């Protein structure tokens, strides 16, 4: 469900399909690379695992509050439609 919610926020058929494809590719690559970060010799030592977990989740957990702060300080990133173009009946 979360995969479709991201692409539904994009306008245009081609951009929607491209966004969904890129997101799905990233999802697949993450599922392939994820298990490779765990080495059986480091089973008892959880330090590399903890470091990997922080490096992955820290940027994603900071992006939502930073986006909200930038929206509050700078205003929403909404592009207003151009109503002055092609208004003559000719």
Q: Tell me what the pLDDT averaged over the chain comes to.
A: 75
pTM score, two decimals?
0.45
Number of domains in the chain: 2
Residues 56 and 32 in one domain: no
Residues 26 and 46 in one domain: no
Residues 30 and 46 in one domain: no
Upper half-sphere CA count for residue 28 (Cβ side, 13 Å):
6
Of 4-18, 22-36, 57-71, the poorest mean pLDDT is in 57-71
Tell me the residue range of the domain where 62 lies: 40-72
Residues 30 and 4 in one domain: yes
Q: Which are the contacts of 20, defined by CB distance < 8 A and separation ≥ 6?
A: 3, 4, 6, 7
pLDDT tens profile 38-81? 777 766 666 777 787 788 788 777 777 777 777 777 766 666 66
């Amino acid at each position: 469900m979360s995969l479709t919610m991201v692409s539904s926020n994009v306008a245009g058929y081609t951009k929607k399909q491209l966004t969904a494809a890129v997101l799905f590719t990233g999802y697949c690559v993450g599922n392939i690379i994820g298990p490779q970060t765990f080495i059986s010799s480091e089973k008892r030592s959880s330090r590399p695992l903890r470091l990997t977990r922080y490096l992955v989740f820290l940027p994603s957990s900071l992006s939502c509050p930073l986006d909200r702060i930038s929206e509050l300080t700078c205003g929403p990133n909404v592009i207003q439609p151009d109503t002055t173009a092609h208004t003559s009946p000719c």
